[in-house]
Structure formats: C-alpha cells, structure tokens
Structure 1
C-alpha cells in the first residue's frame, strides 16, 4: 500500500448521543477497512486500523514451518498412534 498525501475534509456529526465522522467509501476501500476497527490516539492524532482476528496468520506460519521442515514433534518419546487413533478418530 502506498501512502497518500491527499487530504479530505469531513464533519463531526451527531449520531444518537454520540458523535462520529463519515469516512468516504473510496478511503475505506483504499485502506481495506470494514466492520470493526481499532482506534488509537498518538500525539494529537487519531489512528484508525483494522482489527485483525486472533490467529489470522497461523495458516501461513504453519505453511512456512512445513517448508523449512520445522514442524516435527519436539518430544521424541511421544507414543505412536493407537488403534483407536487410526480407526475411530476423524482426521
């Protein structure tokens, strides 16, 4: 994503007992923002970022582990699969 230096003005509007801002659709699309977001205040600035689901990148990390053959059991003495594991368990 390339940072943009263009600015857009918007108004703070009343929303029920609160106040909010309307973010233009092109900005939301450019940033990939939707649903729940996280707000942070940093030195007089409001930072808005996507909320990332817990474990969202685990699949990619597991794939990388497999590519580097770093996905073996750490316990060399672990028991092998039992008959129940082989016959009854759905993998």
Structure 2
C-alpha cells in the first residue's frame, strides 16, 4: 500500500482540493491481488486504490466522462502526415 501511495504522489495522479459545500466526496477502497508465477508460486502482492465511482449520480456529480486512448494506427497516421507535410 505504501508503494501504491508513493507512486500516486510521484505521478501527481490527484490534486488535493477543498470540497464544495453542495457536493459529496467519492470514497475509495483498496483492492488486493496476488500475482503468481507460471509454476504456481507467489510472485508478488499488489495493492491498488480504486475510487467508488458507482456512488456518483449523472448530472449531479459529473456531466460527462472522457478518456483519451491513442491507438497505434492513429499514431502511425499522424506520424505519416507529419512526415509528408514536414
């Protein structure tokens, strides 16, 4: 858990902000996993913090959702355009 918290801080995953009076805080929970090697022995223990997003209500807690996902074909296309047009 300490490693996960440290990684979140190093990557600046969040900003600490004041909660507006008319909003509720979204909770979080720890998810634990055990990673195994191919022979069945334990490779490592993992922990990650997950937001309880299911507690949010559309148009009250958020308006839209968006995540930027770059596909390899898109990157290739953009690189080819950059090469063609200098």
Q: Larger C-alpha radius of gyration, 1 or 2?
A: 1
Q: Which has the higher contact order (CA 8 A, sep 6+)?
A: 2
Short-chain TM bin: under 0.3
**Higher-helix-fraction structure:** 2
| Superposition TM-score, scaled by structure 1 size | 0.26
